[in-house]
Structure 1
Amino acid sequence: MSDTPNDCSAGDCTAPRTAVSEAEVEALVRGICFKTGPPRTVGVEVEWLVHELRTPRLPVSPERLEAAYAALRTVPLRSALTVEPGGQLELSSPPAASLMECVGTVSADLTAVRAVLAEHDLGLVGLGQDPWHPPRRFLREPRYDAMETSLDRTGPAGRAMMCTSASVQVCLDAGYEEPGPLGLGRRWWLAHQLGAVLVAAFANSPVAASEPTGWLSTRQLLWMQIGAGRAGAPAPDTDPRAAWARHVLDAPVMCVRRDGGPWDVPEGLTFREWTRTGAPRPPTREDLDYHISTLFPPVRPRGHLELRMIDAQPGEDGWIVPLAVTTALFDDPEACETAYRAVKPLAERGRSRPAPHNPLWLDAARHGMADPELHEVAVACFAAALEALPRLGATAEVTAAVTAYRDRYVIPGRCPADDLLDDLRGTDLPESRLRPTGGTRTAHGKDLRT
């Protein structure tokens, strides 16, 4: 949600521009959303809840958040720093030539961010869903006013998604045009099948309003509840370009931007219908770009593939484990082939509906690693990733962190959400486990930057 192209707060949204036809939209989507070639780069977008450093249960006032974020804007970072509607913080890495380059860049930026936040008695919390606070808008911009109005039509999940959720999003190249383990078609299909395994293995949001929700990934539940048109995916076993172009055209338009005053929020208008009717005004290329940015499928093509299904992770360096595992399973040919074979038996559970609204993804979000099939596949995929990481240049410390995660969670059939529920049973939600991070950045007692 942090990508906000063509934000009209800085210019005229209704200045005359060339309208696009339905056929032009399809051609543009096919061309701009999938850039094929050898997988060479990796990126990550890490979102964090921002809480009181010592007592995270206390709400942070908007004035304090604004003061801290004003200070952060003066800090030179290589990653893009953005703020989500509820005040969550996001760091988006630049494309990196290797896994370790990506880890090093984001780790250094997070160290700088934490130091500034600590000066304001604030810290970062790695949870997929805020366990205490109700949704509260921090950003007051036309984009988010329109988003709130649109999402409210499907119930309260939209506001919670906007304001109380956080994730780790892994960005990978789309792959070769030709078929094969690293080809676009295979990677597109694998992302949608393996995505359920990643939901289950890294589920970390079982609590809302200080009570268990019955789901290990409440964040994933929220995404499902805002609707297939907004957060669903096209069928993964079809041509990616054709499927995504149809999805973009048939998805509901969130808003029609205006220069001055609130933006129009049409109900039931698809982009295809907008191109055909030209009302309330003809759509432009800029409107198309903006429309794509308001779609939140679990795998979003943006030239590269953006995997959006992983909950934010506990600890200062918890985000590195899903980044390392996912990169290994997609970019190492041997690990990719192993993952492909491992997830194939899961495909039948997902055929009834596209992700994330099918039984496979529902079971992943509700049960996590307690699902026997998902557990079996996760064990195989972590083993393949651990074999591949040295081939990708991962340091011993990163490999050790993945091993520790596998031994603590995956092999016993657990995920971080289970730890939170264990702590919650019969007691108040423990602030010690969820206290925001600050100071020296380590994981399992080791520095992972080198």
Structure 2
Amino acid sequence: MVTAADLDNAAVLRNSEEAEGYLAKICFKTGPPVRTGVELEWTVHDAVDPTRPVGAERLRLALGPYAPTTLDPAATARPLPHGGTVSVEPGGQLEISSAPQRGLDALHETTDADIGHLTALLAAAGLVLGTTGIDPHRPPRSAVETPRYRAMRTAFDRDGPDGRTMMFSTAGLQVCLDAGEPGQVVERWCAVHELGPPLLAAFATARRHAGRDTGWASARMRAWQRIDPTRTRAVWPPATGGRDPVAAWIRYALDAPLLCVRRPDGNWSAPPAVTFRDWIGGALPGPPTADDLRYHLSTLFPPVRPRGYLEVRYLDAQPPGEWLAPVAVLAALLGDPVTLGLAREASAPVADRWTVAARHGLADPALAAAANTLFDLAARALDRTDLAPATQKEISHILERRLAAAERGNP
């Protein structure tokens, strides 16, 4: 999968046209859609008292050689035995980023092995991984301080408490999919957006936060939706219409305000409302580089983000042993043109219902109907994946259980 490192990151961006050209080269890498990756995030809790704060030092000691440099600048940050890398979020959430695999079976095997290794490390330190998309026990609390995290907190605090909830309490599941051949990119880009609200609703796990029922199926997504919409709203469809995802992403990226500006003194706070386009135009001392633009992209958090591949960001963390279900659903639905066309048709009536999905989940009848159709299509398409029959059956049972729980009024 392409990264900004493929280009000259030290190049100074002297005008918007150079920035647009840079973005056009890195946002969508085309080719056969064969690889899938996953990023799994969890809150972390004391095994005896889940309401007890878990600090950075305890995490560092638990992770040992796998600790990231955000916990210890001198850390080796060794990959997990099956290739996954560990990162830590500002609230102490842990994340495993898998290496992309050419088949779901390999992704399942290697990722489960790395989860098992991480779980054992934490257990030895009296820690356990959370099981939902938001911390059900503790209020938002900072655990890790870096210049980036301090700048983010400063920026989000201007608009209220939701930024801290997002930073310190939420845990998501991200699915990374190839963008596809040139003739497939638009359809796949549109599809992963259109499928978003019913899949968000179907896999919502984040109702309880800080010891109370929030009344939202996904309080995680509620927090994301309530922070700066210029960096969290969906990129597609673009407000100006059209069917060019590259142009839509370029506008989105350049017109989003800066969240942080890297400086040697460690103060990365950005002035309010200054966009990257403004920076190119001289709003800050010194022009930005391509590397500054690459870093700016990492501070944009739409439900789907193009990173050469498609990074699907709208799913909550899943209960133990169930992370593969939403990954397999997405892969199966995008696996052939007929299934994809039927999935888009089923999702079209609810494709813009992001807030309804976060609030009501499958209690919303229209979202439940769309999810039912998507699950049926996915279950029938699983045999076209390389997953073992027993794994396919297990996924189908998870999907059936989600729908049955919604029918009982307990999604």
TM-score (structure 1 length as normaliser) = 0.83
Question: How far apart, in 1, do the equivalents of 2:131 and 2:36 lie?
Answer: 21
Counterparts of 1:83-162 in structure 2 under 5 Å?
83-162=88-167
Query: Helix, strand or coil: the match of 2:281?
Result: helix
Comparing 232-241 with 32-41, greater Cα deviation is found at 232-241
CA spacing shift, 1:235–1:287, aligned 2, 3 Å: same
2:47 to 46, 53, 58: 53
Query: Over the residues paired in the alignment, what is the CA RMSD in angstroms?
Result: 2.1
Query: Helix, strand or coil: the match of 1:205?
Result: coil
Question: How far apart, in 1, do the equivalents of 2:359 and 2:282 lie?
Answer: 42
Q: Look up the match of 1:356.
A: none
Q: Look up the match of 1:234.
A: 235
Query: Helix, strand or coil: the match of 2:393?
Result: helix
2:410 to 404, 418, 422: 418
Query: Helix, strand or coil: the match of 2:52?
Result: coil
| Identical-residue share of aligned pairs (%) | 44
2:374 to 374, 381, 388: 381
Question: How far apart, in 1, do the equivalents of 2:285 and 2:304 lie?
Answer: 31
CA deviation profile, 1:26-61 (whole Å, cap 9, x unmatched): 111111010112201000000011112233233324
Query: Helix, strand or coil: the match of 2:83?
Result: coil
Q: Look up the match of 2:30.
A: 36
User: What amino acid is the match of 2:344?
Assistant: Y
User: What amino acid is the match of 1:115?
Assistant: A
Question: Retained in 1: the 8 A contact 2:156–2:228?
Answer: no
Counterparts of 1:389-408 in structure 2 under 5 Å?
389-408=382-401
User: What amino acid is the match of 2:361?
Assistant: G
Query: Helix, strand or coil: the match of 2:410?
Result: helix
1:327 to 331, 334, 344: 331
Shift of 1:314: 1.1
Q: Look up the match of 2:17.
A: 23
User: What amino acid is the match of 2:214?
Assistant: T
CA spacing shift, 1:412–1:87, aligned 2, 3 Å: closer
Counterparts of 1:219-298 in structure 2 under 5 Å?
219-236=220-237, 238-277=243-282, 279-298=284-303
Comparing 38-47 with 253-262, greater Cα deviation is found at 253-262
Question: How far apart, in 2, do the equivalents of 1:311 and 1:361 lie?
Answer: 13
Shift of 1:396: 1.9
CA spacing shift, 1:418–1:56, aligned 2, 3 Å: farther
Structure 2 residue 295 is the aligned partner of structure 1 residue 301: no
Question: Retained in 1: the 8 A contact 2:40–2:95?
Answer: yes
Query: Helix, strand or coil: the match of 2:45?
Result: strand
Q: Look up the match of 2:72.
A: none
Shift of 1:333: 3.0
Q: Look up the match of 1:213.
A: 214
CA spacing shift, 1:383–1:207, aligned 2, 3 Å: same
Shift of 1:398: 2.1
Shift of 1:107: 0.5
CA deviation profile, 1:144-183 (whole Å, cap 9, x unmatched): 11111111112111111111100111110111211xxxx1
TM-score (structure 2 length as normaliser) = 0.90
Question: Retained in 2: the 8 A contact 1:321–1:398?
Answer: no
Structure 2 residue 380 is the aligned partner of structure 1 residue 362: no
Which consecutive unaligned segments of at least 5 residues does structure 1 have?
A: 7-14, 351-359, 420-450
Question: How far apart, in 2, do the equivalents of 1:240 and 1:5 lie?
Answer: 18
Structure 2 residue 64 is the aligned partner of structure 1 residue 70: yes
Shift of 1:83: 0.8
Shift of 1:418: 3.3
Q: Look up the match of 2:181.
A: 176
Question: How far apart, in 2, do the equivalents of 1:345 and 1:411 lie?
Answer: 22
Question: Retained in 1: the 8 A contact 2:45–2:53?
Answer: yes
Which consecutive unaligned segments of at least 5 residues does structure 2 have?
A: 68-77
Question: How far apart, in 1, do the equivalents of 2:252 and 2:106 lie?
Answer: 34
CA spacing shift, 1:48–1:163, aligned 2, 3 Å: same
CA spacing shift, 1:80–1:20, aligned 2, 3 Å: farther
Question: Retained in 2: the 8 A contact 1:256–1:266?
Answer: no
Shift of 1:63: 3.0
- Give the number of equivalent residue pairs: 391
Q: Look up the match of 2:71.
A: none
Shift of 1:18: 2.4
Question: Retained in 2: the 8 A contact 1:205–1:217?
Answer: yes
User: What amino acid is the match of 1:344?
Assistant: A
Question: How far apart, in 2, do the equivalents of 1:258 and 1:48 lie?
Answer: 30
Q: Look up the match of 1:338.
A: 342
CA deviation profile, 1:90-141 (whole Å, cap 9, x unmatched): 0011110011111111101111111111111111112111012122222211
Question: Retained in 2: the 8 A contact 1:5–1:290?
Answer: no
CA deviation profile, 1:236-258 (whole Å, cap 9, x unmatched): 26310000000001001112211
Query: Helix, strand or coil: the match of 1:175?
Result: coil
CA spacing shift, 1:186–1:249, aligned 2, 3 Å: same
Moved over 3 A (4+): 71-77
